[in-house]
Amino acid sequence: MRVAAIDVGTNSVHLLVADVDVEGEITVVEKDRVQVELGRGGLDRHVLTADAMARGVEALESFRQTMDSLGVEAIEAAATSAVREAKNGSDFVKAVREATGIHIRTISGVDEGRLIYLGMRPELDFSKGYALLLDLGGGSLELILCDATRILAAHSLPLGHIRLTEAHVRSDPVRVEEIAAIRDATRLGLRRVLQDIPPGVAGTVVATGGSARALARMATIANGNPEPQHSHGLVLQRGDLKRLTAQFVQTRRGKLSEIPGMDGKRRHTLATASAVLHQALKTLDYPELVTSDRSLRDGLLANWILRNEPELALARTVAWPRMRAVLRMMERYEEDEPHCNHVRDLALSLFDGLSGLKLDSSARRTLEYAALLHDIGHHIAARDHHKHGQYLILNSRMPGFTAPEVAVVANIVRYHRGRPRDSHRHFKALSRVDQRKVEVLSAILRMADSLDRSHNQFVVGLEVADDGTAVTITAKTRDNAHIERWAADRRTRRLSNVLGRPVTVVLEAADSQVETASVAHS
């Protein structure tokens, strides 16, 4: 399945598109990033400016076009501190939804830390003990202490590089006093975490975020090494950060792009990022950090896989996407599985034994799907469960089905009780061919359901004799099946009317005593 993860951050919005196979393995298809600086100009007032919102919507419209062209089937989108803290954050979420159809979930700092952990965990080395994850974004700094199985402590601090730049930097180049103020703010903020994350407790510090990676690239080149081909696994020493910060103090903003390795789009806030990371390593007593190119968007994808594990498990054992969709709905709506499977078997036995139905080649499979789903409406209420079932099917995403196929299945479920009428809106909307299919298959399903009315699977087999002029259904039972006989008596006439010939249902117990349920004539 092709899945997209979108991280709406304070500085940038990120897109990750990947194929997820039935084992949960990921193959990256596309990555994109747009630096929209959503938090610029409004973090201190807890608002998103009109310009920032417009930039964000425009970037997500571009992502929507990319996803549509790549055939994305599911989208996970999350917004972090800028949207989380903004008084008009919900307005931005609504604007994105109206413009693109993308539903953004605004996540808490705790949830942000959990997703970062999920995204980074597969590539973390715990051989030296705990790992401390630092995610420096535009609005916040996330710190996550973890091992291979769990998060031990997580904190989200308002120490993002855009936030602190807007609060403390007024000069060009940045002044020593401004760097000192940023470091003081970082030191004070980190006091909150020292009880949960004592200095030196982790064996490894891993940093994610574009600013940390940009600084590591610059330090690598400054130390006389070749320019790195990527930004994953770079080692950034505390001393490197001190030297880079001093260089920023001496360089006007217009000249920063001339520093080897500089990411020009980040030049306005890299001095702040360097000061924050340097102070974090100093306060937490670590000599260095290692960069990672995994991030929140990888966590969104990992979280989607965890949440959809039941569906992936089905995909490992069920090859056909339509059957997977049906089985997933059965599980979601907590159907009586033994009953629904038994009704499916009885319905298919009836279908196979009847002659002259004049239905297309898909009818048998359609009947199977409807039989498996016929009772999902009980999830809402027992009364009118056939109507509730129709509603759930019509309003569910069913991979592999076309819209007309979904409508036929929904109507068959609707009419396993009652009968179709031209005044019924959803039945009336069907083509005449599909209306006939619904009439026949719902009558068959209605009869099959009656033969397991007790939900005890007393009817163990069916024999159907149909010579074109009359139908005899012999139901073989393993026990007294009085409820099934009573139910069949009430539902035989509907099948007879649809077939245009009399239908007789006989219940035959193991001792070969025969009970005639009913004989109906059209």
127 pLDDT band (50/70/90 cuts)? confident
Q: Is the pLDDT of residue 402 over 90?
A: no
Nearest alpha-carbon partner for 255 in 271, 273, 275 = 271
pLDDT of amino acid 518:
52
pLDDT tens per residue, range 278-325:
999 999 999 999 999 888 999 999 999 988 887 777 666 776 778 888
* 405/365 Cα distance (integer angstroms): 11
Q: Is the pLDDT of residue 87 over 60?
A: yes
Nearest alpha-carbon partner for 20 in 7, 11, 29 = 29
pLDDT of amino acid 314:
67
pLDDT of amino acid 510:
59
Residue 418's alpha-carbon distances to 368, 402, 446, in angstroms, are: 19, 26, 9
* 259/254 Cα distance (integer angstroms): 11
Average pLDDT, the chain: 91
pLDDT of amino acid 478:
85
277-280 long-range contacts, CB within 8 A, separation 24+: 277/134, 277/136, 277/207, 277/211, 277/212, 277/215, 277/236, 277/241, 278/183, 278/238, 278/241, 278/242, 278/245, 279/182, 279/183, 279/186, 279/187, 279/190, 280/134, 280/141, 280/143, 280/186, 280/190
pLDDT of amino acid 206:
95
158 pLDDT band (50/70/90 cuts)? very high
The residue written with tokens 């920023």 in the block is: 248
Percent share of the chain, pLDDT over 90: 73
Strand ranges across the sheet with 151-157: 151-157, 141-146, 131-136, 204-208, 288-291, 235-237
Helix (H) or strand (E) holding 295: none
506 pLDDT band (50/70/90 cuts)? very high
pLDDT tens per residue, range 205-232:
999 999 999 999 999 999 998 888 788 8
pLDDT tens per residue, range 486-503:
999 888 999 999 999 999
58 pLDDT band (50/70/90 cuts)? very high
Strands 12-20 and 459-466: unpaired
522 pLDDT band (50/70/90 cuts)? very low
511 pLDDT band (50/70/90 cuts)? low
Contact residues for 317 (Cβ-Cβ < 8 A; gap 6+) = none
Least confident range from 20-24, 162-166, 274-278, 384-388: namely: 20-24
Contact 518, 491 (CB under 8 A): no
Percent share of the chain, pLDDT over 70: 97
